[in-house]
A and B are shown apart, each in its own frame.
Chain A
Amino acid sequence: MAICAVYTTQSLNPTCSISTPSKTHLGFHQKQVVFYTTGKKTSRRGSSSSPYVITCATGDSQTIVIGLAADSGCGKSTFMRRLTNVFGGAAEPPKGGNPDSNTLISDTTTVICLDDYHSLDRTGRKEKGVTALDPRANDFDLMYEQVKALKDGTAVDKPIYNHVTGLLDPPELIKPPKILVIEGLHPMYDARVRDLLDFSIYLDISNEVKFAWKIQRDMAERGHSLESIKASIEARKPDFDAYIDPQKQYADAVIEVLPTQLIPDDNEGKILRVKLIMKEGVKFFSPVYLFDEGSTISWIPCGRKLTCSYPGIKFSYGPDSYFGHEVSVLEMDGQFDRLDELIYVESHLSNLSTKFYGEVTQQMLKLSDFPGSNNGTGLFQTIVGLKIRDIFEQIIASKAKSPVAATKA
């Protein structure tokens, strides 16, 4: 297998090294090196067949960027842990850095919290009379620059917004990961940042459920009362509706959490109706379907094969339109009594992007103590996690096929 050409382009990667098994190290500075062989395509991620190992600080723009938008207290962190679990390995805060850092790092994934791009700290917002939801309190120029740099394979010094003190702390160094997840209030607000995203998700929690969740979260806290929780939600609502909510039209997948329809007038927020809205025609993303793609189906799995107690489980699936886009919607209302029986449901879903039969169930069982494990939130978050893995693998594979084209892009 001969190497026929070495392209050096004037861009990106400050730190690239190529090593052969005989441990020869060549350092390159400010240059990108592309190797390819004739005939067969270069195998991805370095290679089993080729004797050359190319390590480029995760270079040649192999970082893929995922955006997750949701309000605070809506289960973003649970979602994040489910997602990193799909890729294996626990996500942890950067070692030895600021103890109040919002970043989570695992082998493949780095999750950064967009609150770190607040341009105004807590006192600054109070003086100006704006909330954190307001675009004026956020530095989208810096957000764009740093996300772009990470996507291009360059490490950045990212500020840290300290949620305890409400101050902007000294920055921390973020290295380009394989998968960068930006989560927060505004990942799809700025058009430049939005264009950098390879996949985007919006967690849409209905007002009723949000209220119920915040009561569960805050009632035990000193000083909080039903009135204070209500007042806090009401005060933030105008900004939420103006700046956060409209982002969902750009999302490739929306997870909508609504009160159940199985119990009339339920407002406990314990039984949930969860919709997974998947955009059609997104590159590398093929929506999940139930039984038959494109049909409209309502399915109650409870019966001889699945034990359900009151109020049972109901699935629906069908095509729909969402902000003028064609979408597929999968809905689950109700909750599982026994998580291992989820395999029965999983076996009737198609296009899950699992590597083996039962992977969704296995992922859910691994994290069975997480909130939402017995209802649609956990199920759909896990499915989206698998979809992201699939998208990541396809993007890497397509870049490996045409390395020169990919570097030009």
Chain B
Amino acid sequence: VRPVAAAPDKISEKVADSIKGAEEACAGDPASGECIAAWDEVEELSAAASHARDRKKEADPLETYCKDNPETDECRTYED
């Protein structure tokens, strides 16, 4: 399965790197502090990536456009 809505590339890459790093750190001793801290970093980055993904998803193209161009026909709204 290809990533459907991957986070911005910068964070995505970091997540992938941190997973690789964690697997290496744990290769020697799976119960070491180093290993545990490495997986914690993976979790932190995964959470950041997911938040970034949500933010990107939320952006409605018309809403974004209307923020910059409220006077256009597509965007004008009147209270009454």
The answer to whether A and B interact is yes
- Is B36 part of the binding interface, using a Cβ–Cβ cutoff of 8 Å? yes
Q: How far is the CA of A238 from the CA of B33 in the complex (A)?
A: 11
- Is A192 part of the binding interface, using a Cβ–Cβ cutoff of 8 Å? no
Stretch binding the partner chain, chosen from A222-230, A268-276, A284-292, A341-349 = A222-230
Contacts of B56 in A (CB 8 A): none
Contacts of A239 in B (CB 8 A): 36
Contacts of A223 in B (CB 8 A): 15-17, 19-20
Contacts of A132 in B (CB 8 A): 40, 44
- Is A235 part of the binding interface, using a Cβ–Cβ cutoff of 8 Å? yes
Contacts of B44 in A (CB 8 A): 72, 122, 132, 163, 166
Inter-chain contact B39/A235, CB cutoff 8 Å: yes
- Is B3 part of the binding interface, using a Cβ–Cβ cutoff of 8 Å? yes
Contacts of B6 in A (CB 8 A): 220-222
Q: How far is the CA of A122 from the CA of B19 in the complex (A)?
A: 15
* Number of CB contacts from chain A to chain B under 8 A: 107
Inter-chain contact A220/B3, CB cutoff 8 Å: yes
Among B20, B39, B54, contact of A236 (Cβ-Cβ < 8 Å): B39
Inter-chain contact A221/B15, CB cutoff 8 Å: yes
Looking at the assembled complex, report how far the CB atom of B51 sits from the nearest CB atom of chain A, in whole angstroms.
Answer: 7
Interface residues of B in 1-54 (CB under 8 A from A): 1, 3-7, 10-17, 19-20, 22-23, 26, 32-51, 54
- Is A232 part of the binding interface, using a Cβ–Cβ cutoff of 8 Å? yes
Inter-chain contact A72/B37, CB cutoff 8 Å: no
- If A220-B6, A232-B43, A236-B39 touch, whether A129 touches B32 (CB-CB below 8 Å) is yes
Q: How far is the CA of A235 from the CA of B38 in the complex (A)?
A: 9
Interface hub of A133, A220, A224 (most chain B Cβ within 10 A): A220
Among B17, B19, B26, B37, contact of A126 (Cβ-Cβ < 8 Å): B37
Inter-chain contact A218/B46, CB cutoff 8 Å: yes
Inter-chain contact A77/B35, CB cutoff 8 Å: no
- If A217-B46, A217-B50 touch, whether A224 touches B37 (CB-CB below 8 Å) is no
Inter-chain contact B33/A128, CB cutoff 8 Å: yes
Q: How large is the interface on A (under 10, 10 to 19, 20 to 34, 35 or more residues)?
A: 20 to 34
Among B12, B16, B39, contact of A231 (Cβ-Cβ < 8 Å): B39
Interface hub of B7, B22, B50 (most chain A Cβ within 10 A): B50
Looking at the assembled complex, report how far the CB atom of A378 sits from the nearest CB atom of chain B, in whole angstroms.
Answer: 16
Inter-chain contact B38/A126, CB cutoff 8 Å: yes
**Which residue of chain A has the shortest Cβ distance to B47 in the bound complex?**
A72
Inter-chain contact A77/B41, CB cutoff 8 Å: no
Among A128, A164, A228, contact of B48 (Cβ-Cβ < 8 Å): A164
- If A221-B3, A231-B26 touch, whether A72 touches B43 (CB-CB below 8 Å) is yes
- Is A303 part of the binding interface, using a Cβ–Cβ cutoff of 8 Å? no
Q: List 25 A-B contacts (CB under 8 A).
A: A73-B46, A122-B41, A126-B38, A129-B32, A129-B33, A129-B37, A130-B33, A163-B51, A164-B11, A218-B46, A221-B6, A221-B16, A221-B50, A222-B16, A223-B20, A224-B46, A231-B26, A232-B39, A232-B42, A232-B46, A235-B22, A235-B38, A235-B39, A236-B36, A236-B43
New A-B contacts (17) at CB < 8 Å, excluding given A163-B47, A217-B50, A220-B6: A125-B40, A125-B41, A129-B32, A130-B33, A131-B37, A133-B40, A163-B45, A166-B41, A214-B46, A218-B46, A221-B3, A223-B15, A224-B15, A228-B19, A234-B39, A235-B36, A235-B39
6 tightest A-B CB contacts, nearest first: A129-B33, A223-B16, A235-B39, A131-B40, A163-B48, A223-B19
